[in-house]
């Protein structure tokens, strides 16, 4: 079998962010996928709903990340059917962490965020590395543009802010990172999760957040 070179692997170079709010959660990302210096996709989806109340952002190898999204959706569905209750954000993050830890000798090349809203109305956000290490955060960022995005969030994030307060900062953090990180680009994708469930904002709504 011919060896696959690093620049032939499709990657979500990426800037993703997650922010916990008093009434839910906000996540945002760019939409560029690269293969070396080639832009393989301008519409890559990097924020995936795992159920109605929990979502996951992806950064790293696209194939690895998409496999984990499918795996998590299936496991969460099985959990909820077996236990007859909605899985908590913490349990979902622990599940993903265990999957990654079991594969540490042949790791998935990813950096992930798992976040959402629990049945009691509280929100949680976890950052999970390729070996299964998980940390709970109020806000964080992953991917090649994360140093730029996290600087914006450190300054602007409102710990006791609502989704309306913090959505603009999530969009601006990704937008700013796209201007300085070559692996991040194209569009800003923003989702919110509140008591009504998962919602992806329209392009017009995202543009208003960036220009606010």
Q: 139-142 and 134-136: which strand pairing?
A: unpaired
Output the pLDDT for position 150: 95
Output the pLDDT for position 104: 87
Q: Give the CATH number, domain containing residue 83.
A: 3.60.20.10
Output the pLDDT for position 14: 86
In a domain? residue 29: yes
Domain containing 197 equals 6-206
Total tally of structural domains belonging to the chain: 1
Residue-wise pLDDT for 101-154, tens only, equals: 999 889 999 999 999 999 999 999 999 999 999 999 999 999 888 999 999 999
Residue-wise pLDDT for 49-70, tens only, equals: 999 999 999 998 889 999 999 9
From 64, 75, 76, select the one nearest 112 (Cα to Cα).
Answer: 64
Output the pLDDT for position 118: 96
In a domain? residue 212: no
**DSSP assignment of the chain:** -PPPPGGGS-EE---EEEEEETTEEEEEE---EEETTEEEESS---EEESSSSEEEEEEEEHHHHHHHHHHHHHHHHHHHHHHTSPPPHHHHHHHHHHHHHHTTTS---EEEEEEEE-TTS-EEEEEE-TT--EEE-SEEEESTTHHHHHHHHHHH--TT--HHHHHHHHHHHHHHHHHH-TTS-S--EEEEEETTEEEEPPHHHHHHHHH-
Task: Tell me the C-alpha distance between 176 and 30, whole Å.
Answer: 11
81 — pLDDT class (breaks 50, 70, 90)? very high
In a domain? residue 79: yes
Say if CB 57 and CB 16 are below 8 A apart. yes
- Judged against a pLDDT cut of 60, whether residue 9 lies above it is answered with no
| Phi, psi for 55 (deg, rounded to 5) | -135, 165
- Judged against a pLDDT cut of 80, whether residue 4 lies above it is answered with no
Residue-wise pLDDT for 147-203, tens only, equals: 999 999 999 999 999 999 999 999 999 999 988 877 777 889 999 999 999 999 999
In a domain? residue 146: yes
Higher pLDDT, 12 or 58: 58
In a domain? residue 1: no
59-82 average pLDDT score: 95
In a domain? residue 211: no
Please say if 14 is a catalytic residue: yes
The residue from 12, 14, 15, 34 that is catalytic is 14
């Amino acid at each position: 079998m011919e060896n696959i070179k690093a620049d032939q692997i499709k990657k979500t170079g990426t800037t993703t962010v997650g922010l916990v709010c008093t009434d839910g959660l906000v996540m945002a990302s760019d939409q560029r996928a690269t293969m070396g210096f080639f832009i393989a996709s301008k519409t890559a989806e990097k924020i995936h709903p795992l159920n109605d109340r929990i979502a996951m952002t992806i950064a790293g190898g696209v194939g690895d990340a998409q496999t984990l999204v499918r795996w998590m959706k299936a496991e969460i569905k099985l959990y909820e059917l077996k236990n007859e209750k909605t899985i908590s954000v913490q349990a979902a993050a622990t599940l993903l962490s265990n999957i990654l830890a079991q594969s540490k000798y042949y790791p998935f090349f990813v950096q992930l965020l798992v976040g959402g809203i629990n049945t009691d109305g509280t929100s949680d956000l976890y950052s999970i590395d390729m070996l299964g290490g998980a940390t709970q955060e109020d806000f964080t960022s992953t991917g090649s543009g994360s140093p730029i995005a996290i600087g914006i969030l450190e300054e602007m994030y409102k710990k006791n802010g609502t989704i309306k307060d913090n959505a603009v900062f999530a969009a601006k953090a990704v937008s700013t990172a796209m201007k300085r990180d070559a692996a991040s680009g194209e569009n800003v994708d923003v989702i919110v999760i509140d008591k009504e469930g998962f919602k992806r904002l329209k392009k017009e709504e995202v543009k208003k957040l960036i220009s606010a």
